[in-house]
Amino acid sequence: MSATVPVLTKKDFQTDQEVRWCPGCGDYAILSAVQAVFPELGIPREKFVVVSGIGCSSRFPYYMNTFGFHSIHGRAPAVATGIKVAHPELEVWVATGDGDSLSIGGNHTIHMLRRNVGIKVLMFNNRIYGLTKGQYSPTSEFGKKTKSTPFGSDARPFNPLALALGAETTFVARSVDVMQGHLKDTLKKAAAHQGAAYIEILQNCNIFNDGAWQYLTEKDARTDHIVQLEHGKPLIYGKNRDKGIRLNGLDLEVVQLGNGVSEHDLLIHDEQYRNPVYAFLLAKMEEMPGFPTPIGVLRSWNDVPRYEDNMANQVKDVIAKRGAGDIDKLLRSGDTWEVR
């Protein structure tokens, strides 16, 4: 008889720790969504591990009733990679922020993604350093005035999704903290993916960068500024669903439906397109004047081996050829000295 997984609820993933974020912080909404989705995955609670670095988002492991590591600044991907390689059967999730993962942790992030380690990354993007009280971050807008850039930032911001796609991440998506239905659906899709999954979650810091995503989250403006990506469906948006995105040569363009332009002229979203160039075009849309911001799954490509599987196979092959090895013999091989 096979063991049955006990029925879990959201409460099973809540801890006795007081949740300590600023009142109104978007992190509460993300935590609620994750705690609601985990019990629906049919995975035993002891199989989950949540890893974080440093920052407001990095309190996450304290509030998740799972195994977890609160690691050091920017190194969550490295710690998570070690866990996944040692125990591939575990469900490893990383909670990180735009500062933690794209500044000091940028190098670790891109290499974890390019290796296709089977880890799910939740990147909270509020365009600011919140924990250290409002300095500009790698995603802050050009010209952003903060405590560390009183005359405006001179640096171009990172586009997190374009960066992930440049590393050829096999699952790349975006959602928004206050859009709970969409966020939960995106988390479920990421959980079902076999390789590395990168989810940018647009999140509000109401203390140090309030309204960073207001043009996307206000209900009256949302429909004209967001295009929801749905696999196999045309890129159409607008309050009256009368606008769309089509391909013109190698560029995307916004078109008004009518006057000879129909849904048949629009791009049909294909999240499973092998070449990441299509998803890269989508990721860059938000930087183009007059274009909406895409949310949903930009890319989902499963036909890439996972790093932990490659490593396990390599170890197995070497042991078969050369034996199990002896760590003591290895340490004592070559030139050694005895210090008295």
Residue 1: inside a domain: no
Q: What is the structure's pLDDT at 3?
A: 62
This prediction's pTM: 0.94
pLDDT band for 100, please (50, 70, 90 cuts). Answer: very high
Does a structural domain hold residue 82? yes
Band of pLDDT at residue 101, cut at 50, 70 and 90: very high
**Three-state SS at 126:** coil
In a domain, 225, yes or no: no
pLDDT grade, residue 6 (50/70/90)? confident
Structural domains in the chain (count): 1
Is 173 contained in some domain?
Answer: yes
Tell whether 153 is covered by a domain.
Answer: yes
Cα separation, 131 vs 136, in Å, equals: 12
Average per-residue pLDDT for the chain: 95
CATH number at residue 130: 3.40.50.970
Pick from 147, 103, 143, 146: nearest CA to 123 = 103
Task: Supply the range of the domain harboring residue 48.
Answer: 10-217
Would 104 be classed as within a structural domain? yes
> What residues form DSSP beta bridges with 121?
94, 198
Q: What is the DSSP string of 193-262?
A: -SS-EEEEEE--BTTTBTTTTHHHHSHHHHHHHEEE--TTSB-EESTTS-EEEEEETTEEEEEESBTTB-
Residue 213 lies in a domain: yes
The pLDDT value recorded for residue 2 is 54
> Once rounded to an integer, what is the mean pLDDT over residues 53-76?
97
* Residue 56 scores a pLDDT above 60: yes
pLDDT score of 331? 84
In this prediction, residues 179-202 reach a mean pLDDT of 98
Whether the Cβ atoms of residue 157 and residue 138 lie closer than 8 Å to each other:
yes
Q: Percent of the chain beyond pLDDT 90?
A: 91
Average pLDDT of span 292-310: 97
The answer to whether residue 1 scores a pLDDT higher than 60 is no
- Would 233 be classed as within a structural domain? no
